[in-house]
Amino acid sequence: MSELLDSTRAALTLLVSLDPDLWEIIGVSFRVSLTAMVLAIPPALLIALALARLAFPGRWLLISLANTLMAVPTVVVGLMLFMLLSRSGPLGEWRLLFTQPAMVIGQWLLAIPLLIAMLHAALQGVDQRAWETARLHGAGRVAALWRLLGEARFGVMAAIVASFGRIIAEVGSAVMVGGNIEHFTRNITTAIALETLKGEYAQGIALGLVLLVLALILNLMLGVLRGRGQQTLSS
């Protein structure tokens, strides 16, 4: 028990003292996951819009596919990407294995299905008249789209927060295609998973705390947003 307390105390000291190694690891996590999100949101939004607004053959198949891929284990994505990027793999020429871009691709692949499924649900739930009303009032397509997103903002934010939460907390893909290389591809989760092998737990606890605090902040943000949504409804 004192072991746990000692490690936690050491962890807090590391965090507060801005230990450079620790914050470098946190930086890698955020850089990789934020990049993956920025690259994933636009295509996912377009596909979700198409799924919600257009009727085309294969639409339900696509929706089912997105829902299925949401459940793919991160290690499976990591393994597939590893084989693609390996020197003996079809994309080996790119020399991307064990780099941050490889981690971004892995997390991008993990985020896309979740984003599509949740964005689709959010946009589908919006009153279909929002678009038509905006158009009738003379709004252009872009303005009408903006209006639609505004109507669905809670669902859209929930999709983004949930996807970010999934990819920043995933370890399977990051360790396989990133490799946990110090100063290069070591992020929060791979450090926790593999650095504790050294038998030094303080850093693992500190990094775990960072993830917990992040989850708390994201959920608070969602809560605030939800509160606003309810106010708009009742006013």
Partner 1 sequence: MSLPATLRNAAIILGATLLTSPVLAADNDIIRLATTTSTYNSGLLDELLPQFEAEHPYQVQVIAVGTGKALRMGQDGDADLVMTHAPAAEKAFVDAGYGVEPQGVMYNDFVIVGPQKDSADIQGLEEATKAFKQIADSDALFISRGDDSGTHKKELALWQSSDIEPGFEGYRAAGQGMGKVLQMASELQGYTLTDRGTWLAMQNKLDLSLLMQGDPRLFNPYQVILVNPERYNDLNTDGARAWRSG
Q: How far, in Å, CA of 120 to CA of 46, rounded?
A: 10
Least Å from the CB of residue 102 to partner 1: 11
Least Å from the CB of residue 176 to partner 1: 9
Give the one residue of 190, 204, 205, 207 binding partner 1; rule: CB under 8 A: 190
Stretch that binds partner 1, among 115-123, 156-164, 192-200, 218-226 (CB under 8 A): 192-200
What letter represents residue 75's amino acid? Answer: V
The answer to whether 195 and 145 are in contact (CB under 8 A) is: no
Give the one residue of 91, 94, 196, 208 binding partner 1; rule: CB under 8 A: 196
Size of the site for partner 1 (CB under 8 A): 23
Q: Residues 156 to 185: which contact partner 1 by CB under 8 A?
A: 175, 179-184
Q: What is the largest CA-CA distance in the chain?
A: 68
Q: Residues 89 to 128: which contact partner 1 by CB under 8 A?
A: 97-98
Stretch that binds partner 1, among 26-34, 80-88, 138-146, 220-228 (CB under 8 A): 80-88
The answer to whether 40 and 115 are in contact (CB under 8 A) is: yes
The helix or strand, by DSSP H or E, that contains position 91, with its residue range, turns out to be: none
DSSP SS3 for 160: helix
Give the one residue of 37, 51, 160, 191 binding partner 1; rule: CB under 8 A: 191
- Cα three-residue angle 189-219-228, rounded to 5 degrees: 155
Least Å from the CB of residue 5 to partner 1: 15
Q: Does 1 bind partner 1 (CB under 8 A)?
A: no
Give the one residue of 86, 128, 219, 230 binding partner 1; rule: CB under 8 A: 86
Q: How crowded is the C-beta side of 221, counted as CA atoms within 13 Å?
A: 16
The helix or strand, by DSSP H or E, that contains position 192, with its residue range, turns out to be: helix 188-195
Q: How far, in Å, CA of 24 to CA of 177, rounded?
A: 19
Q: Rule CB under 8 A: which residues touch partner 1?
A: 3, 86-88, 97-98, 175, 179-184, 186, 190-191, 194-200
